[in-house]
Amino acid sequence: MLFQQRGGKRRGAGRPPKGKRAGSPHSVERRIDHFALDPAGKRLFVAALGNGTLEVLDVDAGKRITSIRGLQEPQGVAHLPSIHRIVVAMRGGSVAAFDDGNYQRT
């Protein structure tokens, strides 16, 4: 599993299905909100509300690619592959967009 909530009850089965990668939690200490999947790039984008970050994970390797910090309560995330953007909705209705290749704010 890529994520396991700390400090609360674990949800789901105790063992990953055969043939699936299991990974350790990726330093997300509190609430996570929404996910977006990039099937072509095999990445998972996670709005980590409690950390104020957008976590970018390599699905195959089960590892973090990067963590975009300094976001104000990220509560939603969408990947828009046709324009190479990751869009994050935050507290107060603000939105931030990032390039999906270099993860720089656009």
- Predicted confidence at residue 41, as pLDDT, reads 96
Beta strands in 8-73 (DSSP E): 35-38, 43-48, 53-58, 63-68
Domains of the chain: 35-99 (2.40.10)
The chain-wide mean pLDDT, for the chain, equals 82
This prediction's pTM: 0.74
pLDDT at 2: 54
Instruction: Give the pLDDT confidence of 19-35 residue by residue, as tens digits.
Output: 444 444 455 656 677 99
Which residue has better confidence, 49 or 30? Answer: 49
C-alpha–C-alpha distance, residues 56 and 11, integer Å: 22
